[in-house]
Amino acid sequence: MKNHFPNSYLEIDLGAISNNIESIKQRVPDKKYLAVVKCDAYSHGVVQVAKHIQDQVDWFAVANVDEAIELRRASVTKPILVFGVPTYQTAAAYQTHNLTATVSHLTHFSILMDGTDYHLNFDTGMGRLGFSPDQAKEVRQQAVINQRLTCSGIYTHYATADDPGSDFVETQHGRFEKLIKHFDEIPIKHISNTGAATNYNLDNYDMIRFGLGMLGYNPGKTRHKWLKPALTWKSGIAQLRPVKEGDTVSYGSTWVSPSDGYLATIPVGYGDGIPRALSNKLKVSINGELYPQVGNVTMDYIMVYLGKDKGEITIDSEITILGGDALNASDWSELAGTNVHEILTNLKGRFERSHTNY
């Protein structure tokens, strides 16, 4: 549903996304590059992002068939890998829309229609989807038997590559290196996400996958200064009001005003994607200065304490909630005890989104 009267605005810098991709390419050159654009490109707007970067990447990846069809209907022509599990209900869509399936179970060979392109997915330690490495010979046998299908790739997912220093990354890499010896003829072998490609000096094989990286973030706690966040979230002030010393704010009365001063009520809350776990931890930017959010985050509003003197802040002042000169998604994730992925993909609902190319 289109919001005719949005409560806030997401500004997406497409130029920053392009620059982030080029920065990753410089650090990991001479590979194929796959852009992960699932979940509406992590709330950045999948159609606009994909069409903008299509000439910079070789592949796209999405979570399910519906997301892939959306890209095809938007005239995105690059190969699209669907990470999700194929079913009898979705089998025809892979053919109709020229999509690449993921085969992660022996039953998938019989589900897919003749001529379907696919990648094999092996579970080297993620514990989510995929064949066991012990099944390598059996999987190869089924791939040979099912030559009515086309196998164009093989991959696995790292579980602990978000930050440097994990021994389990090397364990998974070793498992993948061993099992792909059964599949020498498969043209594309891929294992590395943004974290693995930028935090580890291991073989990235033929293609790397980046999602958060192109949007300006390393997936873990490690910060890369050469990545620039592409998303900025802004809003306005719904109400500017005085508060007296000793007054309490929001549900649970968790915050008490230390002095007479002013509150700004901002029309965004956890219904828009601000985690309630950020209550009394968040800071927003007004006129280039950070101000504390106070009291519990509510569904539709947050309150911001402006201090004793609101200065030049007026009802018309712009509020930067996330990105820009406010805290970024990495800051939010650390304060809320979650990850950047959740922060970004929870942004939804009542905003208007615009895309620029600076």
Residuewise pLDDT in 10s, the chain (358 residues): 677 899 999 999 999 999 999 999 999 999 999 999 999 999 999 999 999 999 999 999 999 999 999 999 999 999 999 999 999 999 999 999 999 999 999 999 999 999 999 999 999 999 999 999 999 999 999 999 999 999 999 999 999 999 999 999 999 999 999 999 999 999 999 999 999 999 999 999 999 999 999 999 999 889 999 999 999 999 999 999 999 999 999 999 999 999 999 999 999 999 999 999 999 999 999 999 999 999 999 999 999 999 998 889 999 999 999 999 999 999 999 999 999 999 999 998 789 999 998 7
Please tell me which residue in 137, 251, 308, 348 is annotated as part of the active site. 251
Is residue 78 annotated as part of the catalytic site, yes or no? no
Is residue 228 annotated as part of the catalytic site, yes or no? no
Quote the tokens at residue 12. 């997406």
Please tell me which residue in 33, 38, 200, 228 is annotated as part of the active site. 38
Helix/strand/coil for 4 = coil
Q: Which domains does the chain have, with CATH numbers?
A: 14-215 (3.20.20.10), 231-356 (2.40.37.10)
Pair 317, 297: CB distance under 8 Å: no
Alpha carbon distance 54, 60 (integer Å): 9
Alpha carbon distance 49, 238 (integer Å): 31
**Which of these, 44, 23, 25, lies nearest to 34 by C-alpha position?**
25
Alpha carbon distance 130, 83 (integer Å): 10
Task: Please report where in the chains the tokens 């005003």 appear, as a residue.
Answer: 257
Alpha carbon distance 292, 304 (integer Å): 6
For 262-316, give the DSSP string: EEEEES--TTTT--GGGTTT-EEEETTEEEEEES---SS-EEEEEES--TT--TT
HSE-CB for 77 with a 13 A CA cutoff: 2
Pair 233, 323: CB distance under 8 Å: yes
Buried b (16+ CB within 10 A) or exposed e, 222-249: eebeebbbbbbbbbbbeebeebeeeeeb
Alpha carbon distance 305, 291 (integer Å): 7
- What is the pTM assigned to this prediction? 0.95
